[in-house]
Amino acid sequence: MNWKKIAMMIIPFILFAIGAQVGFILWLRPLYDRGIKWPTLIFGILASVSLALGLLPPYFELAKRRGRVVGINFWFIGIDCLGAFLSMLSVVVGNMDILGIVLYCICCALEIGIFLSHFIWCLRFKWLNKDYQDELEGDIKEEDIGLDNEKTANKKDADYTATSNNNSDDKTEDEVIESDITDKKSQN
């Protein structure tokens, strides 16, 4: 993408976000000062729901991969989970905000679920399942052998065609291969 297309997407979004934030602050602050708190509660609920929805797609990937976590940085998840836990503690120690506690509990629970899923996958398939280890090692060995055999076969074909072009047609294939071997030995 070129810079003009990126700017055409980002600038309207930024302007909308700034306008919405300023508009909602100017609209909701007088209501909040009069004691009407349900509009601000809606924003807290929307934050909790959007956070939960943002952490649900990894669970679909976990279901596809039988619990294996792929493409998620555990350092990031760990630090984010620790942040949610410490924020939850700060809300409990400070002003008791039930919606804040629910928000942080949702975040912490979903991230702990990702950790547990990968831990259980490791127990089931990696650490305790010897068949999986043997299958994994067998696949690697077969791939390596397959590549070596393919390279060797291609090299033999190339050597055979090169020597068959140089040799007379009355030699058999075994004689051509033997003469190739003796030629290579004499070169070394």
DSSP 76-119: HHHHHHHHHHHHHHHHHHSS--HHHHHHHHHHHHHHHHHHHHHH
Structural domains of the chain, count: 3
Q: Containing domain of residue 159, as a range?
A: 134-187
Q: Is 187 helix (H, G, I), strand (E, B) or coil?
A: helix
Q: Are residues 57 and 117 in the same domain?
A: yes
Distance from CA of residue 165 to its chain's centroid? 52
Look at residue 134 in the predicted model and tell me its pLDDT.
Answer: 63
Q: Are residues 118 and 170 in the same domain?
A: no
41 in a structural domain: no
Q: Are residues 15 and 73 in the same domain?
A: no
pLDDT tens digit string along 7-44? 999 999 999 999 999 999 999 899 989 999 888 889 88
Q: Are residues 63 and 118 in the same domain?
A: yes
Q: Are residues 143 and 123 in the same domain?
A: no
164 in a structural domain: yes
108 in a structural domain: yes
Q: Are residues 23 and 9 in the same domain?
A: yes
* Spatial distance between the Cα atoms of 112 and 106, rounded to a whole number of angstroms: 10
Q: How confident is the model at residue 122 (pLDDT cuts 50, 70, 90)?
A: confident
Taking the alpha carbons at both ends of the chain, their separation in whole angstroms is 55
